[in-house]
C-alpha cells in the first residue's frame, strides 16, 4: 500500500498563484514567509477536539422461541418477532460531542439504539459510564449524561444558517474505531432533504471524510463552533467517497433543550395539517414558476392550522421568511420555531401571497392517554395501550385516526413483543368489536375464548389476524 500525502486546502493565495505560474517552468515554489509555512488548522483542532468523544454501546438479549418467530412472521412479515441468539451481545461504536460542561453529550440515536449499556471515552483516555437522557429517532439524535463528570471541555454551538456552500469545515470523530481523527473539507451543499435517514431531513452535505464510527461526531466551522452532527454517508462500498451528511446544530439545540427541560421526548410544535410536496403539475395550477413550497391536503378540525384560517389547497411557501421546498424542509423550519408564540407563514391562496401567523403549541393530549397495561392471558400481554390523540400521533409518527388504541410500549420479553406487535400499532378491533378507548380494550382482552381475532393498523396498512389461545 502506498500512502500519498494530501496538500492542505487552505493555501495562501500567493502560494496558489506561484504554483500555477511555476507549472510552465516545471519548478517547485518555495514559501515566501514563515506564516505560509505554518498555515494550519491545528488551533481550531486544539480548541475543539477534547470535546469530541468515543461512544461505546452494548446490549445482550435472549433469543425468542423459534416456533413463535415463524408463526408470527406469517402474519407480520419478515422481521416480525425476530430475536437475537442466546448469549449474543450486540455492540455499537460511534462518536459524540460534549455540549455542556456538566457532561451532556449529543450523539446519533442509531449509535445507541436498542442498547442498554453506554460508555464514553474522552480524548485524554478517561472513561465514563453514561445514562441515556433522551432518544429522538425522528432526528436520529440522542442526549447522554456522563456519570460523575464535571468541568469538561465542551463545544459552543455555531450558526448553521450562516453557512455557505464552499465554506471550510472539519469533521472530528472515531472512524472505524481507529481513534480520534480529524478530516477537512468544504460544505458541498445545504438543505439536503432526499437522504432518507431521518424524518426531519435537512442536512449539511460535506466532502470532509466521514466513515463508519464518525456517526455522532462534530462538524466544526473555522471559528471552532459546532455547526453539525455527522450522521450518514452516501457510499456503495461502505467507505467515504466524498459525500457525507450532518444534522445542523440548530436541530441539535432543540433536542438538547428538551433534555435539559426534563422531557423524555422532544417537544415539537404542531401544525394540525397534512402536507405534500408541490410537483410540476401542482405548481402550474397554482401559478408558480417552479415547484416549491408544500400543499395543505387536509386540516385537523381543532388544530392551529384551522384556527389560523389555513385551508385545504393553500400552499405554504416559507416559514418566518425562510423558503421551504418540501414537507421535510417545512418540518425542520417549523420545529426550530419552538412551542411558544407564533410563526409567520407565507401562504399562496388564489394566486396571491399573504402572511398568516400560526400559533406555536405542542400537540394536545385530547383525549387523555389513560394508559392500560395488558396483564390478561392474551396476545397483547405485556403491552401498554393508550388512547389516540394528536400528541400520541405526533410522538408515534402515525396519522391521527378516530379508530383504535395505540401500542405505546412493550416489555422486551412479553408475549406481545414475542408475537410481533410493535410500538405505534393501532389496535382497531378485537373479536369484531371496534375499540374506542383503552377501557374498551381492557374489557375485551379480559374475556375468555378459544381464539383471538385482532385488527391492526400499521403504517396505514390494516389487516386482521386470528390467533389461537
110 is an annotated ligand-binding site residue: yes
First to last CA, the chain: 63
Tell me whether the omega of the peptide bond preceding residue 155 falls within 30 degrees of 0, making it cis.
Answer: no
Backbone angles phi, psi at 426, to 5 degrees: -100, 120
C-alpha cell, 54: 468515543
C-alpha cell, 316: 405554504
Tell me whether the omega of the peptide bond preceding residue 241 falls within 30 degrees of 0, making it cis.
Answer: no
Q: Please, where are the H alpha helices in 336-437?
A: 390-396, 415-418
What is the Cα 467 distance to its own chain's centre? Answer: 36
378 is an annotated ligand-binding site residue: no
Indicate the burial class of 451 (C-beta count within 10 angstroms; 0-12, 13-18, 19 or more). Answer: exposed
214 is an annotated ligand-binding site residue: yes
| CA gap 191, 168 in Å, rounded | 17
215 is an annotated ligand-binding site residue: yes
Give the CB-side neighbour count of residue 177, counting CA atoms within 13 A: 5
Q: For every residue of 315-359, which 3-state class applies, written as one string?
A: EEEEECCEECCCHHHHHHHHHCCCCCCEEEEEEEECCEEEEEEEE
265 catalytic per annotation: no
| CA gap 390, 98 in Å, rounded | 34
**Any idea which residue has 504554483 for its cell?**
19
Do 400 and 300 form a contact (C-beta atoms < 8 A)? yes
140, 328, 425, 442: the catalytic one is 140
- Residue 283 pairs in a beta bridge with none
140 catalytic per annotation: yes
| CA gap 203, 348 in Å, rounded | 26
For 428, the 3-state DSSP assignment is: strand
| CA gap 469, 458 in Å, rounded | 23
| CA gap 109, 136 in Å, rounded | 6
Q: What angle do CA 220, 103, 114 make, to 5 degrees?
A: 85
Could you say which DSSP state residue 157 is in?
A: B
188, 215, 249, 258: the catalytic one is 215
Do 317 and 293 form a contact (C-beta atoms < 8 A)? yes
- Residue 427 pairs in a beta bridge with 405, 456
| CA gap 224, 46 in Å, rounded | 9
| CA gap 411, 439 in Å, rounded | 20
Do 66 and 59 form a contact (C-beta atoms < 8 A)? no
92, 95, 110, 188: the catalytic one is 110
- Binding-site residue numbers are 110, 140, 213-215
- Binding-site residue numbers for substrate are 110, 140, 213-215
- Report the catalytic residues: 110, 140, 215
Amino acid at each position: 500500500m502506498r500512502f500519498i500525502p494530501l496538500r492542505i486546502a487552505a493555501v495562501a493565495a500567493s502560494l496558489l498563484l506561484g504554483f500555477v505560474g511555476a507549472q510552465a517552468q516545471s519548478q517547485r515554489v518555495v514559501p515566501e514567509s514563515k506564516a505560509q509555512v505554518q498555515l494550519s488548522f491545528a488551533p481550531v483542532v486544539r480548541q475543539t477536539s477534547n470535546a469530541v468523544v468515543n461512544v461505546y454501546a452494548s446490549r445482550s438479549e435472549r433469543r425468542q422461541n423459534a416456533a413463535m418467530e415463524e408463526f408470527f412472521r406469517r402474519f407480520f412479515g419478515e422481521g416480525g418477532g425476530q430475536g437475537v441468539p442466546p448469549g449474543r451481545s450486540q455492540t455499537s461504536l460511534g462518536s459524540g460531542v460534549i455540549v455542556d460542561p456538566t457532561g451532556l453529550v449529543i450523539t446519533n440515536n442509531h449509535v445507541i439504539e436498542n442498547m442498554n449499556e453506554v460508555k464514553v471515552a474522552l480524548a485524554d483516555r478517561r472513561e465514563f459510564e453514561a445514562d441515556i437522557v433522551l432518544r429522538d429517532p425522528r432526528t436520529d439524535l440522542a442526549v447522554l449524561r456522563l456519570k460523575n463528570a464535571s468541568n469538561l471541555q465542551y463545544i459552543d454551538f455555531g450558526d448553521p444558517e450562516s453557512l455557505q456552500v464552499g465554506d471550510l469545515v472539519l469533521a472530528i470523530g472515531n472512524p472505524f474505531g481507529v481513534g480520534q481523527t480529524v478530516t477537512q473539507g468544504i460544505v458541498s451543499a445545504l438543505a439536503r432533504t432526499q437522504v432518507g435517514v431521518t424524518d426531519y431531513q435537512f442536512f449539511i452535505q460535506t466532502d470532509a471524510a466521514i466513515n463508519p464510527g464518525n456517526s455522532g461526531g462534530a462538524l466544526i466551522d473555522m471559528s471552532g463552533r459546532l455547526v453539525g452532527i455527522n450522521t450518514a454517508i452516501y457510499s456503495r462500498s461502505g467507505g467515504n467517497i466524498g459525500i457525507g451528511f450532518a444534522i445542523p446544530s440548530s436541530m441539535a439545540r432543540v433536542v438538547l433543550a428538551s433534555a435539559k427541560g426534563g422531557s423524555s421526548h422532544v417537544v415539537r410544535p404542531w401544525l394540525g395539517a397534512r402536507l405534500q410536496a408541490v410537483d410540476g403539475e401542482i405548481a402550474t395550477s397554482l401559478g408558480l414558476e417552479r415547484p416549491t413550497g408544500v400543499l395543505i391536503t387536509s386540516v385537523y378540525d381543532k388544530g392551529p392550522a384551522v384556527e389560523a384560517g389555513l385551508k385545504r389547497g393553500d400552499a405554504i411557501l416559507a416559514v418566518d421568511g425562510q423558503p421551504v421546498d418540501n414537507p421535510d424542509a417545512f418540518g425542520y423550519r417549523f420545529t426550530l420555531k419552538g412551542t411558544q408564540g407564533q410563526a409567520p407563514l407565507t401562504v399562496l391562496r388564489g394566486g396571491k401571497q399573504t402572511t398568516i401567523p400560526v400559533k406555536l403549541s405542542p400537540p394536545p393530549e385530547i383525549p387523555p392517554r389513560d394508559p392500560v397495561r395488558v396483564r390478561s392471558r392474551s396476545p397483547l400481554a405485556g403491552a401498554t395501550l393508550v388512547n389516540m390523540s394528536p400528541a400520541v400521533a405526533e410522538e408515534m409518527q402515525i396519522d391521527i385516526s378516530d379508530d383504535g388504541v395505540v401500542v405505546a410500549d412493550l416489555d422486551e420479553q412479553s408475549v406481545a413483543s414475542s408475537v410481533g406487535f410493535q410500538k405505534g400499532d393501532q389496535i382497531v378491533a378485537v373479536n369484531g368489536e371496534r375499540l374506542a378507548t383503552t377501557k374498551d380494550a381492557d374489557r375485551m382482552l379480559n374475556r375468555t375464548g378459544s381464539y383471538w381475532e385482532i385488527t391492526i393498523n400499521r403504517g396505514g396498512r390494516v389487516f386482521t389476524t386470528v390467533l389461537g389461545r
